[in-house]
A and B are shown apart, each in its own frame.
Chain A
Amino acid sequence: DSKPLTIETSMPYGSHNCEAPSRSVETTSEELFSFFQDMAKMRRMEIAADSLYKAKLIRGFCHLYDGQEAVAVGMEAAITKKDSIITAYRDHCTFIGRGGSLFELFSELMGRHTGCSKGKGGSMHFYRKEAGFYGGHGIVGAQIPLGCGLAFAQKYSKDENVAFTLYGDGAANQGQLFEALNIAALWDLPAILVCENNHYGMGTAEWRSAKSHSYYKRGDYAPGLKVDGMDALAVKQACKFAKEHALKNGPIILEMDTYRYHGHSMSDPGSTYRTRDEISGVRQERDPVERIRKLLLAHDIATEKELKDIEKEVRKEVDQAIAQAKESPMPEPSELFTNVYVKGLGTEAFGADRKEVRVKLP
């Protein structure tokens, strides 16, 4: 049975141009339990992706989210699937948060036809439009104006929803952020800019790339909050606050203070620009999954064993999804030429061999 709880966040919010929300977060035993389940699944999934990459079953770029799970989970708890989300290339857990399946995810990572983008997108290009997830974008910072465009369309269509745009501390220095924020503020768009500050843009520490790394203050005229991004409840409270604010007053920035355990991508061991002690320190003191585990135990919502069982269960789910994905076919060769256009108008397209492969696009 679900029982209501009020839990105090361990860190105060930082605020800019607005009154911070209360540190007392309303939740329920059921919600905490689901946070644990979801984050355990995300954690296990990313670790499995790491192994698949090393086994050469995943190609190209692969950016893992472990450490940052509380942002994906806390955000979803505050909003509905009618609200839009758009993010950069570190998008695996956002896809799962929006209701995507492990099978579609691993299929896509391994380039199978059963993937969420039918094997044509890859790790960086997951989408789930039916649940308001608009990708999955590979160009740093480009998703920010796109997200403000989603907010524009929601306002234009008189839908009472908001658009969450996620970007990293690296992208926070991009000019197009300031261009889009300016327009969003001029037009009162329900846009929420979520800076996932994991403190390193690839290998460049925030203080080496940003003159001011108080990212929540850098919207100037736009209000901002600094949020403990390792605390799913703090994230939930901030996102709820931001949604209400954005619908009434326009854009707001949420800086999520978070951390990625993995390197930037699979080619980065993640240890040349930061110390192993730093990583293990964050794991010990701030880990988002462990924080919820402690809460569940402290409030007698679950026992150690029950939580271990959940971890075993998600491990099994992940393994099954991978096995199923491995058995799924690669895309048909004819898929090379589909989806170039919605309406191809009979356009001729060539393959690499201009004499042999020439098709009319549907």
Chain B
Amino acid sequence: KEINVREALNSALDEEMSADPKVFLMGEEVGEYQGAYKISKGLLEKYGPERVLDTPITEAGFTGIGVGAAYYGLKPIVEFMTFNFSMQAIDHIINSAAKSNYMSAGQISVPIVFRGPNGAAAGVGAQHSHCYAAWYASCPGLKVLSPYSSEDARGLLKAAIRDPDPVVFLENELLYGESFPVSDEVLDSSFCIPIGKAKIEREGKDVTITAFSKMVGYALKAAETLEKEGISAEVINLRSIRPLDRATINSSVRKTGRLVTVEEGFPQHGVGAEICTSVVEDSFGYLDAPVERITGADVPMPYAANLERMAVPQVNSLLFFYC
């Protein structure tokens, strides 16, 4: 059986709202419009306007309200139409949500999920194409998840909603319509993926490729090409950007001796930079070659199709180190 990522997210929201009356969804166009990307389709009809709340286009206000509701013990899911707009509310994500449990020595926990599409879509220009994985993942107190497949989307979103800490959940607009095969286990309402564990999507012995979100698909395609050339690539789907599964990454690199990191975000201080550091710290002696970082170009996202294509990794970019 196959379901697409949109259905996976929708069913996860539905099941968790059904299981726990403290869970509610708020954001722009999540209700009557059925979600800007239809992730919340049908939820207003099922759970009513008390639990599916359309907000004004005022991120600082509604995000702060979500965090305050979490202080009180509710479990809000705050949808950003895209994570680009979360910049209007980043103070509440960082200062109000991530730090409260620590500052209060455990008195004020913040069980909240901030979710929505992140990173580049297609042809929407610089202000709508930014990947915030590295930003949020640099902040202690937050957990940052990024699903690739339908299995990831279902299992990680359910884990995020059940988790007692603030979780930033980075989706990808271009994956919403993509279908993936799913097992009966994945479709079971008790299905959950542990936070902080990466998934080895494909085993290999010559080179490790780490990726998250849409780039996992590219890494798998690149691995197929490499296989034809007699190179066995291991593809790690990070799933969790924070906590970062250093153990899985390092044990893979110790086996393969080579590392390529892939992400759509900017190179400087990026997720790849952190992974590279982790390998240098823990497995330096095992490296047979310098680490390669594949990232978005170090420029704001251009609009023109040809330039945009040059600004984000393509499957071929993952192969340049070999070619």
Binding site for B on A (CB under 8 A): 84, 86, 117-118, 120-121, 125, 127-129, 134-139, 142, 144-154, 156-157, 163, 175-176, 178-180, 182-184, 186-187, 338-343, 345-349, 354-355
**In the complex the two chains form, what is the Cα distance from A354 to B277 in whole Å?**
11
Is B18 on the interface with A (CB-CB < 8 A)?
no
Q: A-side binding surface: helix, strand, loop or mixed? A: mixed
- Stretch of B35-43, B50-58, B222-230 on the interface side: B50-58
**In the complex the two chains form, what is the Cα distance from A345 to B159 in whole Å?**
12
Q: Are A180 and B64 in contact (CB under 8 A)?
A: yes
Interface centre among B24, B68, B96, B195 (most CB of A within 10 A): B68
**In the complex the two chains form, what is the Cα distance from A187 to B54 in whole Å?**
10
* Cβ–Cβ < 8 Å partners of A340 in chain B: 101-102, 140-141
**In the complex the two chains form, what is the Cα distance from A120 to B108 in whole Å?**
13
Residue-by-residue, is B61-76 near A (CB-CB < 8 Å gives 1, otherwise 0)? 1111111111111100
Is B171 on the interface with A (CB-CB < 8 A)?
no
Binding site for A on B (CB under 8 A): 24, 50, 53, 55-56, 58, 60-74, 91-92, 95-96, 100-109, 111, 140-141, 143, 163-165, 194-196, 242-243, 246, 281
Q: Are A341 and B64 in contact (CB under 8 A)?
A: no
**In the complex the two chains form, what is the Cα distance from A117 to B69 in whole Å?**
21
**In the complex the two chains form, what is the Cα distance from A183 to B61 in whole Å?**
8
Q: Are A127 and B107 in contact (CB under 8 A)?
A: yes
Q: Which residue of B lies closest to A120 (CB)?
A: B105
Which one, B60, B91, B92, B108, contacts A127 given CB within 8 A? B108
Q: Are A134 and B71 in contact (CB under 8 A)?
A: yes
CB distance from A340 to the nearest CB of B (A): 5
> Contacts A183-B61, A348-B246 hold; do A153 and B108 have CB atoms under 8 A apart?
no
* Cβ–Cβ < 8 Å partners of B68 in chain A: 86, 134, 145-153, 163
Q: Are B69 and A152 in contact (CB under 8 A)?
A: yes
CB distance from B82 to the nearest CB of A (A): 19
* Cβ–Cβ < 8 Å partners of A148 in chain B: 61, 64-65, 68
* Cβ–Cβ < 8 Å partners of A139 in chain B: 91, 95-96
CB distance from B46 to the nearest CB of A (A): 17
* Cβ–Cβ < 8 Å partners of B102 in chain A: 120, 339-340
Q: Which residue of B lies closest to A178 (CB)?
A: B61
* Cβ–Cβ < 8 Å partners of A125 in chain B: 103-104
* Cβ–Cβ < 8 Å partners of A184 in chain B: 65
CB distance from A7 to the nearest CB of B (A): 35
Q: Are A157 and B72 in contact (CB under 8 A)?
A: yes
**In the complex the two chains form, what is the Cα distance from A154 to B72 in whole Å?**
8
Q: Which residue of B lies closest to A163 (CB)?
A: B68
